[in-house]
A and B are shown apart, each in its own frame.
Chain A
């Protein structure tokens, strides 16, 4: 007997509206389908009526968690169109903020994963550490989110030695606390058993459906724009691409924790080797007619902007593709043959930035056609009760 369950907008488990319709048979999901558009704000048409500088602020507000990634991707592209080369100190500061943003985004996601798996204490711990990072960002740029530190030709603010020392001290605190979480995660068998084996995505499927970011890296595909197509100063920074072989939610947690540790190392390298000099150069008002493709590794995956100019001071075409859109077909495959109780966890595992949808699930009884709305929190509560009664998986092991 098949049910169709719409998971619709308005959901308490955080974030944005999206609508998924799932066809169920008992408790197993047989098929899933998406309805996007609740968050469509008509940005690409709006960008054609604003100048190059005003568009930095528009692209920043595409997403609130990875705002600097969109702004930097756009600014990089426009600097290539205008043939302007920002100075080295400006580039280092720009990517210092970028790595800090990656740290804050992964800590946020770890908290959400803990919350979806029922581990609320972990949620509170990681978000408390996130406040340390927000304080550093506020000291550097003036705002907790939407830093607006990019400008065409460099960055807008500089840091002095006292701020540099404060950032290095906070980094020590964060490192110590992250090591503690690693120890908790590895020695908490119920947490590991809850997330192992859930949301499988095989390597062939991930390649065919063009998945990006940690979702693909957890299926053993070493794809990272910072290594394949280095931009900024990533060609000079030593770091490693984090992958995992388990292809499920546990793999994605492991990949993100490894990336967190790598980001701490990159921030330390950038601060210790910060060159002297100016932070910005002047950029012209108009750009010559040309086109450029700009790629960037956001915390969720690859961000790609295509910009075309026609000689005036407004763009002719700006095309943005955020990483979560590329992971949707992979999510549909991950949900098939999974349990309804795992829907919040699988969906949170791709790190949805649906500014990404709000999810309420509508359960439709396929036989009688009646609809019953179930909130995601209700599903999560049922999931937690179900897993309390299930026997623990003794063979799930933390592979770090």
Chain B
């Protein structure tokens, strides 16, 4: 099935849950849904459209809200599902009940952006070090890092 057939089928199954659709290049489809329809959309993608493989989950800090993009793939095409949550209420539903392999990517989202993923099976931090002060989320645009001055061994202090 090529891209246009996939988009048609998605429209018939999900109807008006899809807010935006675009197909900028061959085998690249971008869909946008609302955050409360996320789990239903992922179930439809897995069971009816054949996208059972999640490559990764990217987070973006776009000013007033966070955008989360789920990258799916199968033997025919590559589909990206986008959703948006406001910064004042950064909660998103976990897709692990449908696709268990997404657990590490959701833990990384929690670490890097401070998003809260509801019903995640394993909420521990993934990649930040043990002594990291809480409340510092490195990939937010307003978080800056000041490098402490280095000491040069054998040089002037």
Contacts and interface: CB of A to CB of B under 8 A. Distances in A.
Given A45-B139, A293-B28, A319-B56, A325 B75 contact: no
A42 B63 CA distance: 21
Q: Interface majority SS on A: helix, strand, loop or mixed?
A: mixed
A61 B7 CA distance: 38
Nearest to A328: B104
B55 A80 contact: no
A261 B84 CA distance: 46
Contacts of B28: 292-293
Interface residues of A, number: 30
Contacts, number: 76
B138 A325 contact: no
A68 interface: no
B19 interface: no
Nearest to A38: B129
Interface stretch (A2-10, A153-161, A300-308): A300-308
B33 interface: no
Contacts of A292: 28
A304 B104 contact: no
B133 to A, nearest CB: 15
A223 interface: yes
Contact of B56 (A207, A209, A321, A328): A321
A181 B51 CA distance: 39
A261 to B, nearest CB: 24
Contacts of A210: 53-55, 99, 101-102
Q: Interface majority SS on B: helix, strand, loop or mixed?
A: mixed
Contacts of A329: 100-101, 103-104
B23 interface: no
Nearest to A319: B58
A306 B54 contact: no
B101 A208 contact: yes
A229 interface: yes
Contacts of B125: 37
Contacts of B56: 304, 306, 319, 321, 326
Interface string A206-237: 01111100000000000100001100000000
B73 interface: yes
B80 interface: yes
Given A321-B56, A329-B101, A36 B127 contact: yes
A293 B28 CA distance: 8
A252 interface: no
Interface string B34-77: 00000000000000000011111010100000000101011110
B128 interface: yes
Interface in A294-341: 295, 302, 304, 306, 308, 317, 319, 321, 325-326, 328-329
A209 B101 contact: yes
Given A37-B128, A40-B129, A210-B53, 18 more contacts: A36-B127, A40-B127, A42-B138, A44-B139, A45-B145, A80-B25, A207-B53, A208-B52, A210-B55, A210-B101, A210-B102, A211-B101, A228-B75, A290-B24, A293-B28, A293-B80, A319-B56, A329-B104
13 contacts: A36-B126, A37-B126, A37-B127, A37-B129, A40-B128, A45-B138, A80-B25, A209-B101, A210-B54, A223-B75, A228-B74, A229-B73, A329-B104
Interface of A: 36-37, 40, 42, 44-45, 80, 207-211, 223, 228-229, 290, 292-293, 295, 302, 304, 306, 308, 317, 319, 321, 325-326, 328-329
Q: Which 5 A-B pairs have the closest CB atoms?
A: A210-B101, A321-B56, A209-B101, A319-B58, A37-B127
